[in-house]
Amino acid sequence: MSEVIKINAPLTKEKAMELRAGDMVLISGSIYTGRDAAHKKLMEAIANGEQLPFDPKDQIIYYVGPTPAKPGAVIGSAGPTTSSRMDKMTVPLLERGLTGMIGKGARSEEVIDGMKRFGAVYFGAVGGAGALISTCIKSSEIVAYEELGPEAIRRIYVEGFPAVVVIDSKGGNLYESERAKYSKEYVEGKSK
């Protein structure tokens, strides 16, 4: 079992480029949330030459639309959403310095190429563990697009947020390497 790496956000390009696919991490610090609807608004702002509601440089975006908080709670269940929904809207943010994304599922070649070009990483969070993940979120404030409800952009402060580097800044990709390893072991095992 590899050592768990503690990351303090913001995540500089230099720190992002040290991470490798398969690294287990615990993220602490302020990160941003945003899903499909928020990304569409960010893309509209970029297309119109408007200032973004936060500077993406050295930031991490968590693809999540949390459920409403129960009384006394900071946030409701906060599990990751499928990252491919944001693929067509990711490279412009990478160009502006975004260094980390957290979600679930594979990314497009366009996004992976952008990650390699701009020095960013993609972290996988466990789908179905939203209630557990929410315990790592210590504060939450809406910073933009409040009208989007759960899909508004929030700045959340996390402590010990568990994730795995799924795709690194060099293009190392657990979805590919582990699938190939499994296929090889399965095929070779079947042929013996």
Q: What's the pLDDT tens digit per position in 84-101?
A: 999 999 999 999 999 999
Residue 184 has pLDDT above 60, yes or no: no
Domains, the chain, ordered by start: 5-191 (3.20.130.10)
pLDDT of residue 186: 60
Residue with tokens 């975004």: 98
pLDDT of residue 178: 65
pLDDT of residue 181: 60
Average pLDDT over residues 13-18: 97
Average pLDDT over residues 23-47: 97
CB contact at 8 A, 139 and 28:
no
pLDDT of residue 83: 95
Asked if residue 68 has a cis previous peptide bond (ω within 30° of 0), the answer is: no
pLDDT of residue 176: 81
Q: What is the pTM of this model?
A: 0.91
pLDDT of residue 190: 60
CB contact at 8 A, 29 and 47:
no
pLDDT of residue 115: 98
Write the pLDDT tens digit of every residue in 38-85: 999 999 999 999 999 999 999 999 999 998 888 988 998 898 999 999
Give the torsion sign (CA, 181, 183, 186, 189).
negative
Average pLDDT of the chain is 92
Cβ neighbours of 153 (radius 10 Å)? 23
Write the pLDDT tens digit of every residue in 115-148: 999 999 999 998 777 778 889 999 999 999 999 9
- Least Cα distance to 87 among 145, 13, 125, 36 occurs for 36
Average pLDDT over residues 161-189: 79
